[in-house]
Amino acid sequence: MFNSARNSHDWNMLASWDTFGGIRIGNGLQESGGIFAGCVAIARLAHHFGDAATRDLAAYHAAMQLTEMTGALYATEYIEAYRPYPASHSRIHDIEFTVKARPYCYAEINEFSGLSKLLIGTANWVGSPSGFIESPLPEVMRPYQELWRRYTDDFYDENYDRKFHTDRRIGDRISLDAYIYQTRRDIKFLKEMLEVRKALNYPEYYRMTDLRGFLDAHNKISLKKLF
């Protein structure tokens, strides 16, 4: 992740290595979060071994990812004012649905029109956790709660599940981690979610992830102290 960032990113594009070939130039939230965590890991290792130059470079690229993601998550007002979509747009119905379904929409850098609401997942109301974050690890999830709390709390609001007849608690692309490290829920909610997921036929490693998160929520272990 660190190598991909330093070999291909700059402040003009904030683009990741896997998106140069098509319409979707921006990192997306999944890629940026993972690259951020990788850069932070390199910065810590370099600091531990006394390599100040690598430490500072890694910290610089970590800050670049956070800047790109902050712009993407707070772009709703800017896009509505400066990047309106014409009624003739081929995906206008998907875009309008996304905008009306949620108060906040994240944007990605688009090679034809700058910041764009035309992102992967418009048809499913931008509600898939895997579309929000691809690697649900505590280190990757930390900025979602500390920096982008407004967006994250709205994203996981249960009102959307009731409104669209879904239940994201039981998805195989999510675990209790999202409700502990990304957005906060009380112990009662987490216990109910754990019981619901225990009744499903998930592989053992999914169950272990849920249990680990539940123990952390109860302060029996603490991964947050590793940050």
Q: pLDDT tens across 60-96, in order? A: 888 888 887 887 777 777 777 776 777 887 777 777 7
Q: What predicted TM-score, i.e. pTM, was given to this entire model? A: 0.75
Number of domains in the chain: 1
Banded pLDDT at 25 (limits 50, 70, 90)? very low
Q: Are 213 and 185 in contact (CB under 8 A)?
A: no
Answer yes or no: is 103 within a domain: no
pLDDT at 125: 52
Range of the domain at 158: 136-227
Q: Are 65 and 39 in contact (CB under 8 A)?
A: yes
Banded pLDDT at 122 (limits 50, 70, 90)? very low
> Does residue 53 carry a pLDDT above 70?
yes
Strand ranges for the chain from DSSP E: 108-110, 114-116
Answer yes or no: is 72 within a domain: no
Q: Are 133 and 141 in contact (CB under 8 A)?
A: yes
SS3 category, 219: coil
Answer yes or no: is 207 within a domain: yes
pLDDT at 43: 92
Selection from 90, 37, 91, 42 nearest residue 66 by Cα: 37
- Please give the structure tokens belonging to residue 72: 């993407």
Answer yes or no: is 105 within a domain: no
Lowest mean pLDDT among 59-68, 71-80, 155-164, 205-214: 71-80
Q: How far apart are CA 86 and CA 186, in angstroms?
A: 43
Q: What is the DSSP letter of 182?
A: I
Answer yes or no: is 98 within a domain: no
